[in-house]
Amino acid sequence: MSVELERWRSALDAAVGCPEPARANLLITQAHYELSLALAEVLGTDAGANFHTWAVWGSREAGTTISQRDVPGLRLGAAVAAGTVALALMPLADLPLAGAVVSATLAYGIAARELREATGRISAGNRLVLDEIGGETARFVATFSDDIASEPTRIDDFRAALRPGPTHRGGQQLLRQAFTNYHGAALAQDAAVKHELTFLANCQAVWHEHIRLQPYIAGAMPRPFRQGITRRLLDFRVGPEPLHVGRDLDAIAGRCYPSTLSTLAGPETVAVVEQLRRPARAPASLVASGAANWADLADRMNYIVDLFRSRHLEAGVFEAPYSPAETEQLRAELGLSRTEGSARGPSWIS
């Protein structure tokens, strides 16, 4: 193991192994940010967002639940549970107030249980993503940080360490494809080719991730309330932009996608995008990009593929998740100096 990879592995282990869930989330989010910067250095800082650029915001949002400031669906679930229990108790209660008190007490217990279960599942899923995909990104960065064009067979050696087969059977074929396309993006001289290959790799990596996370996400959302949760409660931020998974994405400056991604040229990219978007959707439109049930894998991927494509070059996506002081403290805990993740962002950010 190289010195660089050993330092990355130590940082990832520190984040994933932190026993306190809320603190672990801060470290995991910061580790994604450091990996985003390091991967951007290999791909070229003009490549656009990479998987870890996006993972920063997913992990940061997960921290809201892990720190128990909010739980997607908890408020709705508790309210519905309270109403259901109250209706059931009405014939048995001597007084309406007694039924209300009992129903509220039971609803609170249901809410507390959902909170504990959601926190545990989200924290476990967050750790899993950084450990697996973050570990492979660290290996990719350590392998190709010197000169990616030298020794062309190194990408074959890199891929050989990833398990063959589909994700749902324990394989890493989608990650093999993702890192192959990151390698191609790093070598590409044409901006449109570089952006498309990076976008494609992002889709393949997040597809692998969400197949792996399916039990955690579905388990964190009470089955009777999933559509209501998706429609009303799943708002989040990417940099300064407020978004909601249950609503269609908005075009930016009148464009659905950046000019370099408005028309997809590669057959592999076209095939992946067609597979991940809902059937019969217009090919260059954000209409019907919103999710109806976030616990459904296909519904999530339909939203995510358009999120990644439409905001691939948006400056806000690359913002640091925490203040400079917090960032330096988290870097110190991870054992990463600025050389492991350049302090500067991608070249198009002023």
- At residue 32, does pLDDT exceed 50? yes
Q: Is a pLDDT exceeding 70 seen at residue 246?
A: yes
Q: Which of 179, 117, 189, 172 is nearest to 154 (CA)?
A: 179
Average pLDDT, whole number, for the chain?
A: 85
- In this prediction the pTM is 0.86
Which of the pair, 339 or 58, is modelled with greater confidence? 58
Going by pLDDT thresholds of 50, 70 and 90, the confidence category of residue 77 is low
Percent of all residues in the chain with a pLDDT value above 90, rounded to a whole number: 68
d(CA 54, CA 28): 13
Q: Per residue in 196-217, pLDDT tens?
A: 999 999 999 999 999 999 998 8
Residue 281 has pLDDT above 60, yes or no: yes
Phi and psi, residue 235, nearest 5° = -90, 155
Does the pLDDT at position 101 exceed 80? Answer: no
Print the SS3 string covering the chain: CCHHHHHHHHHHHHHHCCCCHHHHHHHHHHHHHHHHHHHHHHHCCCCCCCHHHHHHHHHHHHHHHHCCCCCCCHHHHHHHHHHHHHHHHCCCCCCHHHHHHHHHHHHHHHHHHHHHHHHHHHHHHHHHHHHHHHHHHHHHHHHHCCCCCCCCCHHHHHHHCCCCCCHHHCCCHHHHHHHHHHHHHHHCCCHHHHHHHHHHHHHHHHHHHHHHHHHHHHHHCCHHHHHHHHHHCCEEEECCEEEECCCCCCCECCECCCHHHCCCCCHHHHHHHHHHCCCCCCCCCCCCCCCCCCCCHHHHHHHHHHHHHHCCCCHHHHCCCCCHHHHHHHHHHHCCCHHHCCCCCCCCCC
Question: Band of the pLDDT at 65, cuts 50, 70, 90?
Answer: low
Residue 121 confidence (pLDDT): 78
Which percentage of the chain shows pLDDT scores above 70? 80
| The pLDDT of residue 127 | 92
